Amino acid sequence: MIRAFLFDLDGVIVDTAKYHYMAWKRLSEELGLSFDIRDNEALKGVSRRRSFEIILGINGKEMSDEEIEACCQKKNDYYLEYIYQLKKEEILPGVTDFMKEASSLGYKIALGSASKNSRLILEKLEITPYFDEVIDGTKVSKAKPDPEVFLKGAEELGVKPEECIVFEDSLAGIMAARKGHMKSVGVANPEVEDCCDYFISGFSGADVRVLVKKVSGE
C-alpha cells in the first residue's frame, strides 16, 4: 500500500533546473569548456561535484582536487545569485495543491534532493511546512542514481520503500527510485517518460487518488 510521497526539488517543485544550467554554462564559458543544453541532461539530479566531473569528462580535461572544489564553489556562487532572486511564483503549477491534498489524505511527504541548497530554496518559497522530512545533499554521501537519498527519506518517514512513490524529473533520480524498490513518477521532462512507472507533464489538475491508482493499481 502506498503511504508516502518523496519529491525531488529541482525541476519537480520549482524550475531551478534552468538556474543550475545557467550557472554551469557561465562557469564553462569562463574556463573555455564546451557545455550545452544537451550535455546538461546528464547533470540533472546528480551532485555538484559529479556534475563538474561530467563537464570535465566531456572536454577530456583533468583538474586537481583543489581546482575542482574551487570551480564547484564558483558555480554555486553563480547559482546563489539566481536563487536569491527566486520568487514564490516560480513554484511549478499545481504542486503545492497536490501536496496539500496528499497530506489531507494521510500520505507522508519528504523531500529527496541532491541539492545542498534545498533548505534555502524551501524557505525562500515558504514551503518548508509542506514536508514531514527533508533529506538533501547535506545528509547523504552517495549521489543519485544511488538510492540513498530516497531510502533515508522512507526510513525517516517510518515507511517501507515499497510504500513510496518518487516524483522525479531526472534519469538519475528515476534510476535511484527503481534501485530503491520504489514506484516512480516522471515529471515534466520527456527524457524520463520511457523509464518511469508513470509520467505526468506537470501537477496541474493531477488528482492524488487517481495517480496512486494508476501507479500502484490500488
Could you list the active site residues? 8, 10
Query: Can you say whether the dihedral through the CA atoms of 2, 157, 94, 22 is positive or negative?
Result: negative
Q: Which residue is at the shortest CB distance from Mg ion? A: 11
Residues interacting with Mg ion, by CB under 5 A? 8, 10-11, 169-170
CA–CA gap between residue 169 and residue 7 (Å, rounded): 10
What is the helix (H) or strand (E) element at residue 109, kind and residue range? strand 108-112
From the list ligand BG6, Mg ion, none, partner contacted by residue 148 (C-beta under 5 to 8 A by kind): none
CB nearer to Mg ion: pick between 8 and 148? 8
Task: State yes or no: residue 9 binds ligand BG6 (CB under 6 A).
Answer: yes
Identify whether the C-beta of residue 172 lies closer than 8 Å to the C-beta of residue 45: yes
Nearest-angstrom CA–CA distance, 10 and 45: 8
Q: Are the C-beta atoms of residues 180 and 149 closer than 8 Å to each other?
A: no
Of the residues 98, 102, 115, 177, which one makes contact with ligand BG6 according to CB under 6 A: 115
User: Please, which residue, 28 or 115, has the CB nearer to Mg ion?
Assistant: 115
Cell digits of residue 111: 523531500
**Considering only 55-63, 111-119, 149-157, 174-182, which stretch makes contact with ligand BG6 by CB under 6 A?**
111-119
Binding range to ligand BG6, per CB under 6 A, among 25-33, 42-50, 56-64, 151-159? 42-50
Beta carbons within 8 Å of 193's beta carbon, 6+ residues apart:
186, 199
What 8-state DSSP symbol labels residue 14?
A: B
- Is the Cα dihedral 151, 157, 136, 7 positive or negative? positive
For the CB of residue 189, give the shortest distance to ligand BG6 in the complex, in Å.
Answer: 11
Among 59, 76, 128, 216, binds ligand BG6 (CB under 6 A): 76
Shortest distance (Å) from residue 26 CB to ligand BG6: 14
Which parts of this chain interact with ligand BG6 (CB under 6 A)? 9-10, 17, 20, 43-48, 51, 76, 113-117, 137, 170
